[in-house]
């Protein structure tokens, strides 16, 4: 049997294959008004196409737990019930295609309030639907970025509650998997790394203090997320800053703690917390970080990062380097990648009745 098309069980959920779609922001929601942050026709068509293409799990893009937690004013949100109910159309369709619907719960921290990438991605102010970002410390992400407002201990507790509230709404919206976004230099990742966390209270300084906020979020979400449903955590395994940032050693140590707190799978990425860092990008360049977590801990992992080729993806799983692969840009290029991969490997995958002529 093909490793890519072997079902995968987590808690009571069985995902039909190991071809998964990672969160990829579409920057296509309304920035204000009654429909602010809610999914629309673009989001439905985008995710529906990948489900019809045979993708086993689709994790909906970074969805903000609060308005100021959006990366851009055009991001999805799930801080109110109107937004949650608007997701129902998508989650129902995905389930109808045999695809498991997941959602990434996120807060952008100091990297919030930026324009859409195709508009340059620069910080935006109130005249362009923007706001002042918040962070663990008043340290801007890069030159030209505003100094974020340092979160007080009380404000930190508020954000923890926002993650829990978002998880409740995600359940009501029909999602089967929730993922906490702790990667790419957004708020949780900012707390983890000494590069961005300069606090001197119980949330800064030592490794134990820097991981405190992340574990509080995990505990709060796990408390409201059903025991029979999986909870993921996305992490940047390294800041690519040698010893001055979050490291691969930290990730391995943290993975064990995440499992103890109820995380079922670690979605392993890298980078994003420091501007101007040189990253050795190449095919599968992040896979070794996932492989190390899998080899040294008992926490299942998913690998991501320039995984494009069917043989490459199959080999990652067959070699035991990861439990699943997340294909980002490749699924943007080819919504039916899973169906094509199944044909190449002689495996079975869901095909909509309307597409049987393509088999």
Q: Which amino acids are annotated catalytic?
A: 186
Cα separation, 90 vs 93, in Å, equals: 5
User: The dihedral of CA 81, 87, 93, 97: what is its sign?
Assistant: negative
Residues in the chain: 359
Contact (CB, 8 A) for 99 and 51 = yes
Contact (CB, 8 A) for 134 and 68 = yes
Tokens of 305: 């990062």
Place of tokens 């900012």: 190
Nearest to 256 by CA among 216, 202, 292: 292
Cα separation, 29 vs 41, in Å, equals: 10
Full DSSP string of 143-168: TTSPPPEEPPHHHHHHHHHHHHHHHH
Nearest to 273 by CA among 184, 169, 170: 184
Cα separation, 326 vs 307, in Å, equals: 8
């Amino acid at each position: 049997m093909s490793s890519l098309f072997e079902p995968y069980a987590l808690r009571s959920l069985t995902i039909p294959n190991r071809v998964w779609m990672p969160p990829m922001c579409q920057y296509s929601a309304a920035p204000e008004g009654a429909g602010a942050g809610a999914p629309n026709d673009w989001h439905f068509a985008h995710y529906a196409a990948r489900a019809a293409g045979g993708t086993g799990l689709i994790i909906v893009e970074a969805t903000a737990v609060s308005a100021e937690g959006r990366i851009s004013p055009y991001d999805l949100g799930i801080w109110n019930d109107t937004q949650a109910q608007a997701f129902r159309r998508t989650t129902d369709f995905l389930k109808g295609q045999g695809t498991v619907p997941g959602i990434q719960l996120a807060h952008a921290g100091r990297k919030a309030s930026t324009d859409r990438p195709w508009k340059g991605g620069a910080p935006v102010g109130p005249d362009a639907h923007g706001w002042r970002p918040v962070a663990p410390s008043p340290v801007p992400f890069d030159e030209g970025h505003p100094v974020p407002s340092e979160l007080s201990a009380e404000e930190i507790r508020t954000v923890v509650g926002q993650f829990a509230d978002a998880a409740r709404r995600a359940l009501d919206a029909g999602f089967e998997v929730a993922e906490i976004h702790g990667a790419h230099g957004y708020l949780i990742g900012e707390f983890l790394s000494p590069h961005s966390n300069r606090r001197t209270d119980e949330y800064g300084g030592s490794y134990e203090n820097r991981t405190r906020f992340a574990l509080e979020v995990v505990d709060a979400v796990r408390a409201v997320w059903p025991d029979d449903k999986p909870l993921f955590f996305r992490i940047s395994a390294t800041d690519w800053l040698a010893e001055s940032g979050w490291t691969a050693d930290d990730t391995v140590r943290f993975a064990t703690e995440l499992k103890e707190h109820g995380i079922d799978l670690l979605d392993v990425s890298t980078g994003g917390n420091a501007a101007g860092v040189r990253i050795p990008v190449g095919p599968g360049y992040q896979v070794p970080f996932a492989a190390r977590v899998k080899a040294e801990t008992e926490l299942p992992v998913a690998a991501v990062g320039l995984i494009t080729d069917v043989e490459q993806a199959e080999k990652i799983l067959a070699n035991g380097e990861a439990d699943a692969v997340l294909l980002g840009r490749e699924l943007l290029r080819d919504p039916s990648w899973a169906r094509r991969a199944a044909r190449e490997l002689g495996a079975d995958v869901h095909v909509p009745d309307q597409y049987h002529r393509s088999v």
